[in-house]
């Protein structure tokens, strides 16, 4: 984690109760990295009146109560936070996850299209996924883990026509990101596999076991192994760092 943010942040008023924060820099990866840094600082040192934060890939929506603070105060606090070195408390050790996936015609309906886009055999696309070390950059809709660091031949385009109902556990990719669908729902991302594990369980006191900054790798398993692990709750790897 950087000590100082080399790129300046920009803020924009989003109505009477929110400020949008972005990072000014031509490099998208750097923008995405810095915004994670700003979010961690903000969440750790919650400025008075800030009620919640919504993470985007390269942005942060900071929501506040306008009856006890004002956009000017929030923007000032954000600039201070961006200038300060991060708290030691931020240096938590990331957890490691090894997530099993099955790749079949049924569970990876977009695999051939991605392969065609890259001009490689389908197995090559899965090899890229399996050798990627991904970092959870944010929790997306319904606590879905959004991961950065997917190895690609070139960034993956979204589908022109979104799929309306993708089953839970689907491994989806777009750009150089991957995400796992926790609940059935629509997506414009490419579906290239599925995990039999339960990613989000709302009946547990902590519905997810992962948080931002954690490390994820995927391992391919066969359908028999998948059947044995069907519904198992995703937990971090306890055998140290993934091989």
Q: What residues make contact with another protein under the rule CB under 8 A?
A: 12-18, 20, 39, 43, 51-61, 63, 65-68, 70-71, 138-144, 182-183, 185, 188, 200, 202, 207-208
Query: How distant, in Å, are the alpha carbons of 180, 199, 200, 211 from that of 203?
Result: 19, 12, 9, 18
111 or 191: CB nearest another protein: 191
Edge-first strand order for the sheet with 9-13 is 9-13, 18-23, 59-64, 50-55
What secondary structure does DSSP assign to 190-228, as a single string? Answer: EEEEE-SSBS--TTSSSS-S--TT-EEEEEE--HHHHHH
Cβ 96 to another protein shortest distance, Å = 20
Cβ 25 to another protein shortest distance, Å = 13
52 or 222: CB nearest another protein: 52
Cβ 68 to another protein shortest distance, Å = 7
173 or 200: CB nearest another protein: 200
Cβ 220 to another protein shortest distance, Å = 27
CB 190 within 8 A of CB 108: no
53 or 130: CB nearest another protein: 53
Burial 97-121 (b: 16+ CB within 10 A, else e): bebbbbbeeebbebbebbbebbeee
4 or 154: CB nearest another protein: 154
The half-sphere exposure of 23 on its side-chain side, counting CA atoms within 13 A, is: 24
CB 137 within 8 A of CB 146: yes
114 or 144: CB nearest another protein: 144
How many angstroms from the chain centroid is the CA of residue 212?
Answer: 7
How many angstroms from the chain centroid is the CA of residue 69?
Answer: 30
Cβ 151 to another protein shortest distance, Å = 21
Cβ 138 to another protein shortest distance, Å = 7
The half-sphere exposure of 133 on its side-chain side, counting CA atoms within 13 A, is: 9
């Amino acid at each position: 984690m950087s000590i100082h943010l080399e790129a300046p942040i920009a803020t924009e008023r989003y109505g009477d109760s929110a400020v949008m924060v972005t990072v000014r820099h031509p490099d998208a990866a750097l923008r995405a990295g810095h915004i994670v840094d700003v979010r961690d600082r903000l969440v750790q040192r919650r400025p008075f009146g800030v009620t919640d934060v919504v993470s985007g890939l390269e942005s942060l929506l900071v929501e506040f109560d306008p009856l006890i603070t004002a956009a000017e105060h929030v923007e000032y606090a954000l600039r201070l936070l961006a200038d300060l070195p991060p708290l030691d408390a931020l240096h938590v050790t990331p957890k490691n996850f090894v997530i099993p996936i099955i790749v079949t015609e049924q569970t990876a309906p977009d695999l051939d299209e991605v392969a065609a886009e890259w001009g490689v055999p389908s197995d090559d696309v899965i090899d890229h996924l399996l050798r990627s070390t991904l970092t959870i950059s944010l929790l997306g809709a319904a606590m879905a883990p959004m991961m950065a660091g997917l190895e690609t031949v070139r960034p993956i385009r979204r589908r022109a026509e979104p799929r309306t109902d993708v089953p839970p556990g689907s491994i989806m990719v777009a750009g150089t990101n991957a995400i796992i669908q926790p609940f059935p729902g629509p997506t414009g991302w490419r579906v290239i596999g599925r995990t039999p594990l339960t990613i989000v369980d709302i009946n547990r006191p902590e519905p997810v076991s992962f948080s931002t900054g954690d490390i994820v790798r995927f391992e391919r398993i066969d359908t028999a192994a998948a059947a044995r692990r069907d519904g198992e709750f995703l937990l971090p790897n306890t055998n140290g760092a993934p091989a």
